[in-house]
Structure 1
Amino acid sequence: MDFEFNDSFLCFHPSFLDKKCTLCNLPIIACGNGLITTPLSYIHPNLALTLEEVDRVRDDNLRHLLQSKKLHLVLDLDHTLIDSRLTKNVTLEEKQRLTCTKDVYNMLSCRYVKLRPGVREFIKQVSSMFDLSIYTMADKVYAQEVRGLLESKAGFPRLSWVIAKQDCTKYRQKRMDVVLSHERVVLIVDDTKNIWGDFCTENLVKINRYEFFPIKEQQEEEIDTELARVFGVLKMVHDKFYDVDFEVEDEVVFGTRDVR
């Protein structure tokens, strides 16, 4: 049933789908001059929210996080949780070695993906303290496939958002403007600091780069404790944020607690 407006209705045009207001159905050009919106194509290809609506959503998210005593963790993919290589770039000798290597998967018959050592335990541990999102400069289709692999093989949460390079608002740069949590409750794990520019450096926990490919001729058992090290940092920040005196009260919900 169509929504009927009366003369007293005043639409604030909070969000737009296919360039039409989701409340009053007016085209965006008719909703006022100087209207600034943020595209959220990872949620819907043609969705955009006003800056005011983004803040409102972040406030709701903040209440949810505080009530569940969680924070928001944004994770990179390549060289952070996995390493990968196109099958056409893997030699026959390397393919033979892969047959006896654990945690290597052939994705879509065109790419090998290697899970980083410790990724299962890391995901299990952080999932109890954080809402998880993926933010990668990889292509959206590839990112969704890797997320599906992490879901089935490593227990990654099924309903987590995946932000890919097509969803960025600035070319070749990750920014927090498309993340629907306030910066003060967001932690980032990424092997590349420069990709964030001058933004969110205080939110970033840098992880050492993981490289499995190309495969060494004498591949030894991997010793990589980076995810365990990073988890220790994340847990410390989480525990300090939610100390023993924490209570979810009105003055705390919009208080001064900050992961930075």
Structure 2
Amino acid sequence: MSETVSVELPTSLPYPIRITRVLADGEVQRGTALLEYAFTSDEARKELAKGGKGEWDMVGSWDSAIEGRLDRWEEWVKPGTRVERSKIALWLEQSCSHPVQLHGMCGVCGRDLTTDDYLTRGGPSKYAGSYEMSHDSLGVTVSTNEAKRLENVTKETLLSSKRLSLIVDLDQTIIHTTVDPTVGEWIEQGKKALEDVAKFHLPDDVPLGYTAPDRWYYTKPRPGVNQFLRRMNELYEMHVYTMGTRTYAEAICNVVDPDKTFFGGRIISRDENKSFSSKSLKRLFPTDQSMVVVIDDRADVWGEIPNLVKVVPYDFFIGVGDINKADSMAQTKLLDAQSEDRPLAKESEPLNNDDAELERVAKILAQIHSTFYRAYAQRVKDTIPMGCDVEVIIPDIKSRVLEGCTLVFSGVIPKHQAAETSGIFHAAEMFGARTMLDVGPGMTHCVTATVGTEKTYRASRMDAAVVWVEWFHKSIALWKRQDERAFSINGAESSTSPKQVENGIPEDGVDDGGLDNLLDGWDESADAELQAFMEGSSDYGEDTESVGSVPGSPSKKRVRYADEESLPLESFRDPPEDQDWAGDSDDRPAKRRLLLEAPTGDYVPEGNRFQWDGKMDENPTAEDDLFAQMLEDSLDSEIS
């Protein structure tokens, strides 16, 4: 049975293009030239930017990746038309559109679709427009049109039950796993915090040719995970997407979902994903992600997708981290090292069960769901409103977190990086804040990693909050603006003590061994000497604070940070003459002056010249005699 399918211009064409000739008519084979076009080369673009000429200096052709009989061209396709992006250009009638393929063979007509030529694309299927959509790795792919049809079916099912799709990561999102044998010993000792820790073997989870020790995996479910999954199951259809192996993912699901109520068989592991470093929504939803939400403790594996709700990592086993962050062989070595080194036995407080993150995430997911279906309830007939799109809803929620805040950063951005292109500027704007390069009218917050910068001093004299950078990080991590009073530099020191920075780059200091050596012999007198130096008097008197210091803070040497490079030198000069001084005016120290003029060219200022009139002083002083004797002794010693 024949089928008419649409064919779009490839996204890989060098847009914008101008159609010069329409070629295809009648039968179309794989590789048939459909049309020719002109485009502008990079060199010509540079010339055009300078006011030169040379537009449309290159030509190319668009070749068909599929076969069929031409049904019709779209009306806009004609010579001279300028095209800015990919869109449907023609329709082909195919005897078989190969909607489903199995290991490169069409599941309908049986044709081999593994042709390897210049039109071959990468990915799960070499045949153009084919996608893997199944959760397993059986080699089943579908065509673009079939993918759209299947996703429309899924969408109708979800809309009828008022649900969305939720992709759930495992490690450090809803569980935490270790292979440290110390945990097994603690379980035998009856530690209360380990009552719900699951224990299992993965005998086949070892690369070929590598013999691993007989080890146990210990998995701690995140506090509240059962209530979380039960609540989300009412609002979302959930899928597991993990960097762990298939056997590991199934073992974890047996822990958190033993009855397969929440996830069923909807699991994608590294075996199906075929990547150790990235995840993709198109693996499950190739053509439409408007109803898909992702929760994961890692944003880097997803790239910049608007569907992500980042979760604060769950660290129950302190210092263990994510056991599935490496590739297969590296992971096996990492697990062996963890089993042998027993890092938990070296920690003074190795377990951390103080966690309520899933409660926060559940509120955000519920808000996304209610916003989507509130917009859907306002639809006209069968038209879905633009507000029914997770990729619009999530950025909108994030943009309200710091709405109304205008931030200036001090001592935070590395000196070599432009502030406007820094990640912290991008994050601030993503969460609704405005950013400024310097302290000025309209600023509401000065966010700093250290005290004593010019910006913190000037901001403290204005009606603005001067807060530690932890205020910003915690606000965007929790999607909730934090109370500035708890992070004020004038209040109590933050729980994560800010590190001093130099040139905008935090100093992590030396390692523990080096620090111990450095502090050998350090006593109270040395500490008092350091404190006296840090609080020592400036050139203007002992009771005068140093220029640029935050009022009330010890006087320190001034440092210009990376984000102060553009400040005028006036901000760093001596205090003005009319500054108030304690005591009488006679106590005011003399203003420092240059004693000598700087030479310019060949000219040597009068005060810099050494002149001798050829005459000896007739009345030498005792000091002159002493100097002459010292000079004579020095010359004698050199001669001898």
- How does 1:214-253 map onto structure 2 within 5 Å? 214=318, 215=344, 217-218=348-349, 222-243=353-374, 246=377, 249-252=381-384
| Partner residue, 2:146 | 53
One-letter identity of the residue aligned with 2:235: M
RCO (CA 8 Å, sep 6+): is it higher in 1 or 2? 1
Aligned to 1:177: 282
- Separation in 2, partners of 1:236, 1:165: 31
Residue 19 of structure 1 is matched in structure 2 by: 104
**SS, match of residue 11 in structure 1:** coil
Q: 1:169 to 1:63 in 2, by over 3 A?
A: farther
Q: Distance in 1 between matches of 2:302 and 2:253?
A: 21
Q: What is the CA deviation profile of residues 98-151 of structure 1, one whole-angstrom value per residue up to 9, with x for unaligned ones?
A: 653222010227211110001011001100000000111111111111112211
Partner of residue 123 from structure 1, selected from 229, 232, 239 = 229
Q: Report the residue type matching 1:17 in the other structure.
A: L
Report the secondary structure of 1:183's partner residue: coil
How far apart are the structure 2 equivalents of 1:91 and 1:171? 27
Distance 1:97 1:84 in 2: 19
* Paired letter, 1:236: Q
Shift of 1:186: 0.6
Residues 221, 140 of structure 1: alpha-carbon distance in 2 compared, 3 angstrom cutoff: closer
- Kindly report the root-mean-square deviation, in angstroms, between the aligned alpha carbons of the 2 structures: 3.0
User: Retained in 2: the 8 A contact 1:123–1:156?
Assistant: no
Q: State the AA in 2 paired with 1:250.
A: D
The answer on whether the counterparts of 1:40 and 1:167 sit within 8 Å (CA) in structure 2 is no
Local SS of the residue matching 2:240: strand
**Residue aligning to 1:210:** 314
SS of aligned partner of 1:195: coil
Q: Distance in 2 between matches of 1:92 and 1:24?
A: 56
Cα distance, 1:188–1:9 mapped onto 2, change above 3 Å: closer
Structure 1 169/177 Cα, relative in aligned 2: closer, same or farther at 3 Å?
farther
Q: Is the 8 A contact 2:132 2:284 kept in 1?
A: no
Gaps of 5+ in 2: 3-92, 121-126, 202-214, 319-343, 392-640
Q: Which amino acid aligns with 1:257?
A: C
SS at match of 1:27: coil
CA deviation profile, 1:148-203 (whole Å, cap 9, x unmatched): 221128x75252411111222655100111113721101110000001123x2x11
1:69-84 equivalence runs, <5 A: 69-84=162-177
Change (3 A) 1:131 1:247: farther
1:162 maps to 2:267: yes
**Alpha-carbon separation, structure 1, partners of 2:180 and 2:106:** 45
Paired residues in the alignment total 250
SS in 1 for 2:390: coil
SS in structure 1 of the partner of residue 114 of structure 2 = helix
Aligned-partner residue type, residue 175 of structure 2: I
**Counterpart residue type for residue 180 of structure 1:** F
Secondary structure of the equivalent of 1:187?
Answer: strand
CA distance in 2, matches of 1:245, 1:68: 13
CA distance in 1, matches of 2:236, 2:279: 20
Aligned to 2:195: 102
Helix, strand or coil: the match of 2:301?
helix
Report the secondary structure of 2:258's partner residue.
helix
Contact persistence 2:245–2:269 (CA under 8 A): yes
- 1:95/1:235 Cα in 2 relative to 1: closer, same or farther (>3 Å)? same
Contact 1:71 1:186 in 2 (8 A): yes
Note closer, same or farther for the CA distance 1:98–1:46 as it changes in structure 2 (3 Å cut).
Answer: farther
Change in Cα spacing, 1:93 to 1:188, as seen in structure 2 (3 Å) is same
**Larger Rg computed on CA atoms:** 2
Q: Which residue of 1 aligns with 2:157?
A: 64
Question: 2:358 corresponds to which letter in structure 1?
Answer: L
Which residue of 2 is the match for residue 189 of structure 1?
Answer: 295
Report the residue type matching 2:231 in the other structure: Q
1:28 and 2:134 aligned: no
Assess, with a 3 A threshold, how the Cα gap between structure 1 residues 195 and 211 changes in structure 2: closer, same or farther: same
Question: Which amino acid is the alignment partner of residue 177 of structure 1?
Answer: K
**How far, CA to CA, are the matches of 1:218 and 1:18 in structure 2?**
52
The letter for the 2-side match of 1:146 is I
Distance 1:183 1:12 in 2: 24
Give the 3 Å change call, closer, same or farther, for CA 178–151 of structure 1 in structure 2. Answer: same
| Kept after mapping to 1: 8 A contact 2:169/2:296 | yes
Between the aligned partners of 2:163 and 2:177, the Cα distance in structure 1 is 31
Q: Deviations over 1:67-108 (max 9, x none)?
A: 1110000000000010011255x3665444565322201022
User: For 2:359, what is the secondary structure of its paired residue?
Assistant: helix
SS of residue paired to 1:144:
helix
Partner amino acid, structure 2, of 1:230: V
3-state SS, counterpart of residue 250 of structure 2: helix
Change (3 A) 1:105 1:99: farther
Paired residues of 2:131 and 2:142 also in contact (CA < 8 A): yes
Q: Report the Cα distance in structure 1 between the residues aligned to 2:376 and 2:291, rounded to whole angstroms.
A: 18
Q: Which amino acid aligns with 1:203?
A: N
* 1:172–1:152 distance in 2 versus 1, CA, 3 Å: same
Alignment deviations for residues 210-240 of structure 1 (CA, whole Å, 9 cap, x no partner): 0112455556772211000000000001001
* Counterpart residue type for residue 195 of structure 2: K
Q: Secondary structure at the match of 1:184?
A: coil
Structure 1 unpaired stretches of 5+: none
Conserved 8 A contact 2:101-2:142: yes
Tell me the distance in 2 between the aligned counterparts of 1:247 and 1:188. 25
Q: Please, which moves more after superposition, 206-215 or 156-165?
A: 156-165
Shift in CA distance, 97/224, structure 1 to aligned 2, threshold 3 Å: farther
Of 14-23 and 242-251, the range deviating more from structure 2: 242-251
**Contact (CA 8 Å) 1:39, 1:49: kept in 2 or not?**
yes
Take 2:158 and 2:200, find their aligned partners in 1: how far apart are those partners? 34
Query: 1:81 and 1:131, CA in 2 relative to 1: closer, same or farther beyond 3 A?
Result: same
CA contact (8 A) 1:132 1:160 kept: no
